[in-house]
Amino acid sequence: MTSFKCLIVDDNEIERDAIEMYLRKINRLEIKAICSSGIEAADVLVNEHIDIVFSDIDMPELSGHGLLKSIKNPPVFIFITSFSEYAAESFNLDALDFVVKPATFERLLKASNKAIEYLDLKKTASNYTEQTNQELDTADYFYIKETKGFTRLNYNDVIYIESMGDFSKIFTAENKHITLVNLKNLERQLPSFFVRVHKQYIINLNHINTVTSNEILLNHNYVVPVSLLNKQDLMEKITNKTISRHIK
């Protein structure tokens, strides 16, 4: 099985040694470099292919967050820090995981397995071939790439789609499917009866039951939020299907 190249960066020598000791026990990880500063790590990332970065956050000159922001196409980042208050910003930067020190082997193993699973899925989806817009307009179904292979879904069966960063989770009445296509790219390919109602959600207009001030109730008891930014567009689309009665 494929091994993934890792970089460890921490300005504390004891912490670096402990992380290195734990990661060397995980078979599918290959430690490519160990750095004592964010600046040193940035240089490695420019010159080496790295799959996963295990990084401290609070470092002089260039923090872990600053390191991630400085990379145009960053690898998977797992932050390891003593400060739990950094968690929100870490996830806003799309870090895959956040480990609070002192990091145990069990916790690093869990974070590593999460990264390995993500990278495996990304690799299996590398041969994913998107259908052309013309095909999508004329067909009533589409295919998604999952770990088990290609799955055919009927557009009408899709109730809503939720963003998971680089992934999207597609909900039908019977199942949910995860595919390595982000919500923005999916939105470009979907028929017009799919509407973005939130930064993280697209719904199928044909499955709406009720629209409230801040939620949409869909068939099969699904509920998704609707943002103020997207609600006006949604209401314009469903107005054409509304029957108005004028009582005289």
pLDDT in the model for residue 241: 58
Instruction: Domain 133-239: state its class.
Output: mainly beta
Nearest to 9 by CA among 60, 84, 49: 60
Contacts of 108 (CB under 8 A, 6+ apart): 19, 22, 23, 26, 54, 80, 99
Q: In the chain, at which residue ranges do the beta strands (DSSP E only) sit? A: 4-9, 29-35, 52-55, 76-81, 97-100, 141-146, 149-154, 158-164, 167-172, 176-179, 194-198, 201-204, 208-211, 215-218, 223-225
Model confidence at 94, pLDDT cuts 50, 70, 90, reads confident
Instruction: Domain 4-125: state its class.
Output: alpha beta
Using a pLDDT cut of 90, give the percent of the chain over it. 60
pLDDT over 60 at 238, yes or no: yes
- H/E segment holding residue 64: helix 64-69
- Tens-digit pLDDT profile for residues 14-69: 999 999 999 999 999 999 999 999 999 999 999 999 999 999 999 999 999 999 99
pLDDT in the model for residue 38: 96
Q: How many CA atoms lie within 13 A of 7 on its CB side?
A: 29
Q: Where are the domains of the chain?
A: 4-125, 133-239
Contact 196, 226 (CB under 8 A): no
- Tens-digit pLDDT profile for residues 164-188: 888 899 999 989 998 888 888 888 8
Tell which phi-psi region holds residue 20, choosing left (phi > 0), alpha (psi between -120 and 50) or beta.
alpha
Amino acid letter for position 96: L
pLDDT over 90 at 213, yes or no: no
